[in-house]
Structure 1
Amino acid sequence: MLYNFSFYIHHHGSGHVTRATAIAKFLKTYVDCKITFLGSDLLAYQHLIPDDIDQLFLPLDVPTVDDLYHQPQNLKHLHYAPLNVAGLLARNQMIIEHFCKNPETVCVVDVSCEVLQLARLCGIPTVAVRQHGKRTDLAHALAYDSAQQIIAPYCRQMSDADEEGIYADKTLFTGGFSRYDTLKTPSSVQQKKNIAIFIGKGGSSIDQHLISRLQASLDASYTVHVIGDAPSASGSENIIIHGHLDDPTPILNLCAVIVCNAGHNTIMEMGSLRKRIICIPADRPFREQEIKAAHLQRLNLAVVIPEDQVKHTNWKNAIEQAQQLDTNRWSDVMDDKALTKIADCLIATYRKFYTTQRKKTGIHA
Structure 2
Amino acid sequence: MKPRPIGYYVHHHGAGHRARADAIAKHIDCRLVLIGTGIGAAGLDLPDDRPLSGHFHGRDNAPCRPSALHYAPLDHDGVRERVAVVASWIASERPALMVVDVSVEIAMLARLASVPTVYVRLNGERNDSAHLEAFRGATGILAPFHSGLESEATPAWVRAKSHYFPGITATAAMKAPAVRRVLVVFGRGGLPGDGALVAVAASSCPDWQWRVIGPATETASIPENLTFAGWVSSPECEIARATVIVGAAGDGLIGAVMGADRPFLCIPENRPFAEQQVTAEGLRSLGAAIVVPGWPSGKQWPALLERTLALPPWGRRTLQDADGARKAAAWLAAQAFQASICPEHAP
After TM superposition, the score normalised by the length of structure 2 is: 0.90
8 Å contact kept, 1:204–1:261 = no
Q: Is 1:105 the counterpart of 2:96 in the alignment? A: yes
User: Aligned residue for 1:8?
Assistant: 9
User: Aligned residue for 2:252?
Assistant: 265
User: Aligned residue for 2:132?
Assistant: 141
8 Å contact kept, 2:264–2:308 = yes
Counterparts of 1:127-138 in structure 2, within 5 Å, are: 127-138=118-129
Q: 1:296-337 deviations in whole A, cap 9, x for unaligned? A: 111111111113x63487111111110111234332112233
Say which SS state the counterpart of residue 224 (structure 1) adopts. Answer: strand
Q: Is 1:342 the counterpart of 2:342 in the alignment? A: no
8 Å contact kept, 1:71–1:84 = no
Amino acid at match of 1:364: A
Q: Is 1:55 the counterpart of 2:37 in the alignment? A: no
8 Å contact kept, 1:63–1:86 = no
User: Aligned residue for 2:36?
Assistant: 39
Q: Distance in 2 between matches of 1:3 and 1:274?
A: 39
Q: 1:1-35 deviations in whole A, cap 9, x for unaligned? A: 835100000001111000011011110xxx2x221
User: Aligned residue for 1:155?
Assistant: 146
Q: 1:330-349 deviations in whole A, cap 9, x for unaligned? A: 32112233233323322222
Shift of 1:87: 0.5
Amino acid at match of 1:42: I
Structure 1 stretches lacking a partner, 5+ long:
47-53
Q: Is 1:319 the counterpart of 2:309 in the alignment? A: no
Q: Distance in 2 between matches of 1:217 and 1:357?
A: 66
Counterparts of 1:285-300 in structure 2, within 5 Å, are: 285-300=272-287
Distance 1:233 1:22, change over 3 A: farther
Say which SS state the counterpart of residue 310 (structure 1) adopts. Answer: coil
Q: Distance in 1 between matches of 2:235 and 2:201?
A: 21
2:204 alignment partner, one of 217, 222, 229:
217
Shift of 1:204: 4.3
Higher relative contact order (CA 8 A, sep 6+): 2
Say which SS state the counterpart of residue 124 (structure 2) adopts. Answer: coil
Amino acid at match of 1:12: H
Q: Is 1:364 the counterpart of 2:346 in the alignment? A: yes
Q: Provide the identity percentage.
A: 29
Q: Distance in 2 between matches of 1:211 and 1:306?
A: 16
When the two chains are superposed, the root-mean-square deviation of aligned CA atoms in Å is: 2.3
Distance 1:163 1:176, change over 3 A: farther
Q: Distance in 2 between matches of 1:79 and 1:165?
A: 23
Q: Is 1:333 the counterpart of 2:319 in the alignment? A: yes
Q: For this pair of structures, how many residues does the alignment match?
A: 338
Distance 1:221 1:338, change over 3 A: closer
Q: Distance in 1 between matches of 2:18 and 2:155?
A: 23
Q: Is 1:305 the counterpart of 2:295 in the alignment? A: no
Amino acid at match of 2:62: P
Amino acid at match of 1:320: E
Q: Which of structure 1's runs of 4+ aligned residues deviate more than 6 A?
A: none
User: Aligned residue for 2:106?
Assistant: 115
Q: Is 1:186 the counterpart of 2:186 in the alignment? A: no
Shift of 1:233: 4.3
8 Å contact kept, 1:208–1:233 = yes
Structure 2 stretches lacking a partner, 5+ long:
54-59
Amino acid at match of 2:313: T
Say which SS state the counterpart of residue 163 (structure 1) adopts. Answer: coil
1:78 alignment partner, one of 69, 80, 86:
69
Q: Is 1:352 the counterpart of 2:338 in the alignment? A: yes
Shift of 1:78: 1.1
Distance 1:231 1:186, change over 3 A: same
Shift of 1:138: 0.3
Distance 1:127 1:209, change over 3 A: same
User: Aligned residue for 2:215?
Assistant: 229
Bigger drift between 296-305 and 199-208 goes to 199-208
Distance 1:127 1:110, change over 3 A: same
Q: 1:154-186 deviations in whole A, cap 9, x for unaligned? A: 221121442254211111112333152xx2131
8 Å contact kept, 2:269–2:277 = yes
8 Å contact kept, 2:265–2:308 = yes
User: Aligned residue for 1:90?
Assistant: 81
8 Å contact kept, 1:190–1:253 = no
8 Å contact kept, 1:105–1:350 = yes
8 Å contact kept, 1:161–1:168 = no
